[in-house]
A and B are shown apart, each in its own frame.
Chain A
Amino acid sequence: MNLLLESLRSAFSAIRAHAFRSFLTALGIIIGVGSVVAVVSIVQGLSYTVNAQFQGLGSNSITVSSYTPRERWLQGRIAKLTEDDLRAIEHRVEGISHVTPILYDPRNQMINVGYRAQSTFTRMFGVGSSYMEVNQSFPQKGRFFTRTDNERRRLVCLVGADVVEELELPDGGLGEFIRIGEEWCKIVGVMEERGEIFGFSQDNYVLLPYSTMQRLLGTSREFDIQVQLLVDDLERMAEVDARIGRVLRQQHELAPDENDDFRIQTAEQLTASFNSVINTITAVAAGVVGISLLVGGIGIMNIMLVSVTERTREIGILKALGARRVDILLQFLIEAVLLCLLGGLLGIALGWGGGALVSMMLPSFPPAHVPIWAVALSVGFSAAVGIVFGILPAAKAAQLDPIESLRYE
């Protein structure tokens, strides 16, 4: 312990004696650790926020959409979910409520809407009245669609907050008519603001009654729709999931050896797949940093070798005074580790600040979040780099011959 403290003291004095050189030497570590902490803090901040938003989506919601497996796509058999499928799910699956179709034009996702001189592009969905409950999204002003709106295919719509802003609608837009494609629709409600994810606004959309949307797209075709629904009992999620699968396979008359031509996604799965993306980004960042730490470590080894040569005489003196090999070894090793650790700590501070700055400057980004494991890992990694790249110069110092060293000029 005494020996360790002594080595530490002497390492501090050696680093202080060449403060600027030490700083330059540690720069590789500082930048490496700094960039990983910055990236991790930004990604973790995102993940934190997005997970919170997914929770708001309602963990008991299920989204069913069509999916064309590759071999069927090659045969030109494009999968579809139809209104028949929707009705089949509604009637034959137990334990569900609030089923809604979602219809949009897959070939023309952004459509032009206008009001007086203003016009903008926005997304348009045709939905059922259960849309509110399933998506936990309600009108802030006005009302949602009624059954009659749907049955009569009325030209009414609800708009997101961005549309109100873009079109400069007076008094929040209630009761105004906006142009959607070639038709004029009356605004009966404005939806609550939902903010942004990944810098994409969640408020730039127009909702139409499902049947109205069909009418706008043209009734001659049968459209591919999505089905969203709520499961009554979260415990029975898997059961409902399986039941929907069986019903749809029957509906689509799939042979037992054919793959599903649809996808059933739960909120949990969405979260899981998002998290796997996040984890991949983190892993890639870690890999890049691993390389930069390697480069930084080689820099440290290089300077430590120079330092050992420079201090050959000093090593000779210490040996004459009775320093054993292990004393010299420890002294230089601790110096390298200390250099790396100081670099690592500076890097963490830099990355922390950098991450916070970036997420502050990008207006739509959530606040950066530095997890404690990233800090612990950075410190541990820096120390490991110090040991791995410090051992060679330290061993070289320890092996020096005392007589030769004392003669060294």
Chain B
Amino acid sequence: MSLGLELRGITREYRMGEEVVHALAGVDLALGHNEYVAIVGASGSGKSSLMNIIGCLDSPTAGSYTLNGRAVAGMSDTELATVRNREIGFIFQSFNLLPRVDALHNVMQPLVYRRLPVAERKAKAREALARVGLADRMEHLPNQLSGGQCQRVAVARALVGEPAILLADEPTGNLDSATTAEIMALFDELHAGGQTIVVVTHEAEIAAHCLRVVRLRDGRIESDRRQERAA
């Protein structure tokens, strides 16, 4: 059993009326443990489709996807939900926190679907919030937090289940440059701690943080190169 993920010949087609759109046209990609990857490309290049498939929100039209040794393509909805819950930590551009509950309960939410007892959920969520530096904001509602703080809560929520992959979709798209730097520093730190991170972005500065850059174009991988981290 190999840790990490492996995509082979992934295609994804959408039907738009009569026309068939090939969002992904044969993608092969392998990610090992503790990788730090940026997926970049122009809009319409298939970034989002690839992210949805890696994140198990969507199933490929054809091809195989192995995540931590398990074949994910062709799983049922319920099985996919379980995989999302255990293996994937999502971070979104617009944070996507639950508006009615405080930071602590936002972070606890993924553990609800693991059927953990409340005390354990609380302990793990506190720990995760402390890791992103929000130990003193646990009781705050999302609308009482700044954008940067919201994204930190979202990172804590993604981390709390100890996922195989942290999957971030334009994580700094809604943040100013200072906050962006903070969040990327946090990502670097998490990577240093052994976390596998995949960032979907169109910003070169963000991609520069990563150790590997996968460039998509028209649903195919145009380039896949490793790089030294920019200083």
Q: Which residues of A contact B (CB under 8 A)?
A: 2-3, 6, 13-14, 17, 313-314, 316-327, 402-403, 406
A322 x B96 contact (CB < 8 A): no
Which of the residues B52, B58, B90, B117 comes within 8 Å of A321, measured between beta carbons? Answer: B90
Known A-B contacts A17-B100, A321-B157; the reply to A3 vs B78 at CB < 8 A is no
Interface segment, B33-41, B80-88, B188-196? B80-88
B90 x A320 contact (CB < 8 A): yes
B110 to chain A: which residues have CB within 8 Å? 321-322
How far is A278 from B10 in the complex, measured between Cα atoms in Å? 73
A323 x B117 contact (CB < 8 A): no
A319 to chain B: which residues have CB within 8 Å? 57, 81, 84
Which of the residues B52, B77, B115 comes within 8 Å of A403, measured between beta carbons? Answer: B52
A324 x B57 contact (CB < 8 A): no
How far is A103 from B195 in the complex, measured between Cα atoms in Å? 103
A321 to chain B: which residues have CB within 8 Å? 84-85, 90, 109-110, 113, 157
B82 x A324 contact (CB < 8 A): yes
Chain A residue with the shortest CB-CB distance to B114: A322
A322 x B77 contact (CB < 8 A): no
How far is A321 from B89 in the complex, measured between Cα atoms in Å? 8
B55 to chain A: which residues have CB within 8 Å? 320
B157 to chain A: which residues have CB within 8 Å? 321
B109 to chain A: which residues have CB within 8 Å? 318, 321
Known A-B contacts A13-B100, A14-B100, A17-B100; the reply to A324 vs B52 at CB < 8 A is no
Chain A residue with the shortest CB-CB distance to B101: A13
How far is A322 from B115 in the complex, measured between Cα atoms in Å? 12
A402 x B101 contact (CB < 8 A): no
- Asked whether B98 is an interface residue with its Cβ less than 8 Å from the other chain, the reply is yes
A322 x B117 contact (CB < 8 A): no
Closest beta carbon of chain A to B155's beta carbon, Å: 14
CB-defined A-B contacts under 8 Å, sample of 17: A3-B115, A13-B100, A14-B100, A17-B100, A314-B99, A319-B57, A319-B84, A320-B90, A322-B82, A322-B86, A323-B81, A323-B85, A323-B113, A324-B81, A324-B113, A325-B81, A403-B57
How far is A22 from B57 in the complex, measured between Cα atoms in Å? 32
Closest beta carbon of chain B to A324's beta carbon, Å: 4
Chain B residue with the shortest CB-CB distance to A322: B85
A2 to chain B: which residues have CB within 8 Å? 115, 117
How far is A1 from B84 in the complex, measured between Cα atoms in Å? 23
How far is A326 from B58 in the complex, measured between Cα atoms in Å? 18
* Size range of the chain B interface in the assembly: 20 to 34
Closest beta carbon of chain A to B80's beta carbon, Å: 9
How far is A208 from B112 in the complex, measured between Cα atoms in Å? 84
Give the number of A-B contacts (CB < 8 Å). 64
How far is A402 from B57 in the complex, measured between Cα atoms in Å? 6
Rank and list the top 9 A-B pairs by shortest CB-CB distance, nearest first: A322-B85, A324-B81, A322-B113, A321-B110, A322-B84, A317-B96, A320-B90, A402-B57, A324-B78
8 Å CB interface, B49-98 against A: 52, 55, 57-58, 77-78, 81-82, 84-86, 90, 92, 96-98
Chain A residue with the shortest CB-CB distance to B110: A321
Closest beta carbon of chain B to A258's beta carbon, Å: 77
B107-147 to A contact mask, C-beta < 8 Å, 1/0: 00110111101000000000000000000000000000000
Chain B residue with the shortest CB-CB distance to A3: B115
How far is A177 from B170 in the complex, measured between Cα atoms in Å? 106
Chain A residue with the shortest CB-CB distance to B95: A317
How far is A276 from B99 in the complex, measured between Cα atoms in Å? 56
Closest beta carbon of chain A to B95's beta carbon, Å: 10
A322 to chain B: which residues have CB within 8 Å? 81-82, 84-86, 110, 113-114, 161
Extra contacts, 9 of them, besides A17-B100, A319-B57, A325-B78 (Cβ < 8 A), are A6-B112, A318-B109, A319-B84, A320-B90, A321-B157, A322-B86, A324-B77, A324-B78, A403-B57
How far is A261 from B86 in the complex, measured between Cα atoms in Å? 86
How far is A65 from B161 in the complex, measured between Cα atoms in Å? 85
A325 to chain B: which residues have CB within 8 Å? 77-78, 81
A313 x B81 contact (CB < 8 A): no
Closest beta carbon of chain A to B174's beta carbon, Å: 14
Chain B residue with the shortest CB-CB distance to A405: B57
Chain B residue with the shortest CB-CB distance to A317: B96
A3 to chain B: which residues have CB within 8 Å? 112, 115
How far is A406 from B57 in the complex, measured between Cα atoms in Å? 10
Closest beta carbon of chain A to B97's beta carbon, Å: 8
Which of the residues A317, A324, A327 comes within 8 Å of B98, measured between beta carbons? Answer: A317
Chain A residue with the shortest CB-CB distance to B163: A322
A403 to chain B: which residues have CB within 8 Å? 52, 57-58
How far is A324 from B55 in the complex, measured between Cα atoms in Å? 15
Closest beta carbon of chain B to A403's beta carbon, Å: 5
How far is A256 from B95 in the complex, measured between Cα atoms in Å? 93
Chain B residue with the shortest CB-CB distance to A1: B115
B82 to chain A: which residues have CB within 8 Å? 322, 324
Closest beta carbon of chain B to A314's beta carbon, Å: 6
A313 to chain B: which residues have CB within 8 Å? 96
